[in-house]
Amino acid sequence: GENVEQHPSTLSVQEGDSAVIKCTYSDSASNYFPWYKQELGKGPQLIIDIRSNVGEKKDQRIAVTLNKTAKHFSLHITETQPEDSAVYFCAASRKSGTGRRALTFGSGTRLQVQP
Amino acid sequence: DTAVSQTPKYLVTQMGNDKSIKCEQNLGHDTMYWYKQDSKKFLKIMFSYNNKELIINETVPNRFSPKSPDKAHLNLHINSLELGDSAVYFCASSQERGGGGEQFFGPGTRLTVL
């Protein structure tokens, strides 16, 4: 099955700095890579995703890059703000035998943005 | 309007009891999921239903039994609760058709087994 590794487990940055979180995956058939943000006491919320036919995607201060050959993908947050503080999860999925996707999550990164 | 709702938000119970967690989504999605998040924040899928049909069943003890009365609801019943069942359980839904892939999560149910 798929195995997703995520680093670092904790990340502290100063407000305005950039933050980078990296993930690797094991299943070369994985073709969908979402990133979720989980705030304290809430469920995870999708912030950006990328598919295997694209190498990079950007949405305002957030960008994701994908290297299919190396099987790794990264989340980049620029100009960090205190409200970016949360736990971030990467995930990977592919079509299962029934044609349905199953998400495998990384272990999470706790990001703290210091004002 | 709440997209994916779960009840209860908190559940404290004794070992050996049987309990249920309810989940409802008003997004019109075809697929619903149950995830378990342990104390280290690790999220792991437990079950997935599509149009009331079980499509994913990870290695979960058979004390856990999901039930989907209709495609908007996916309830989780747990028999003979154990200390190790303490975790936050998240329900999620997605619309598989159209290829979006995004899963919408509920607020979670924190289960504490004493």
Q: pLDDT tens digit string along B69-108?
A: 998 999 999 999 999 999 999 999 988 643 347 889 999 9
CB contact under 8 A, B92 and A42: no
pLDDT band at A71 (very low <50, low <70, confident <90, very high): very high
Distance, in Å, from the CA atom of A72 to the CA atom of B37, rounded to the nearest integer, reads 24
pLDDT band at B58 (very low <50, low <70, confident <90, very high): confident
Q: Decide: residue B7, CB within 10 A, 0-12 exposed, 13-18 middle, 19+ buried.
A: middle
Name the most confidently modeled range: A7-11, A93-97, B99-103: A7-11
> Tell me, what's the pLDDT at B10?
97
Distance, in Å, from the CA atom of B99 to the CA atom of B30, rounded to the nearest integer, reads 12
Query: Nearest C-alpha of chain B: how many angstroms from A31?
Result: 11
> Tell me, what's the pLDDT at A101?
67
Q: Which residue of B has its CA nearest to A46?
A: B102
How confident is the prediction for chain B on average, in pLDDT?
A: 90
Q: Note whether A21 and A6 are within 8 A (CB).
A: yes
Nearest to A43 among B40, B50, B107 (CB): B107
CB contact under 8 A, B108 and A42: yes
Distance, in Å, from the CA atom of A88 to the CA atom of A107, rounded to the nearest integer, reads 9
Collect all residues with Cβ–Cβ distance below 8 Å to A97 and sequence separation of at least 6: none
- Interface probe with B: pick from A105, A107, A109, most Cβ of B within 10 Å: A105
Chain B contacts of A32, Cβ < 8 Å? 101
Distance, in Å, from the CA atom of A106 to the CA atom of A104, rounded to the nearest integer, reads 7
B29 versus A18: the higher-pLDDT residue is: A18
Q: Which residue of A has its CA nearest to B90?
A: A43
Residue A63 has pLDDT above 70, yes or no: yes
A80 versus A54: the higher-pLDDT residue is: A80
> Tell me, what's the pLDDT at B19?
97
Q: What are the tokens at A107?
A: 């272990």
Instruction: Tell me which amino acid residue B43 is.
Output: L
- Condensed to tens digits (0 to 9), the pLDDT of residues A16-34 reads 999 999 999 999 988 899 9
Average pLDDT over residues B49-70: 85
Q: How far is CA B100 from CA B63, B95, B103, in A?
A: 32, 7, 9
Closest CA to A84 of A59, A106, A115, A107: A115
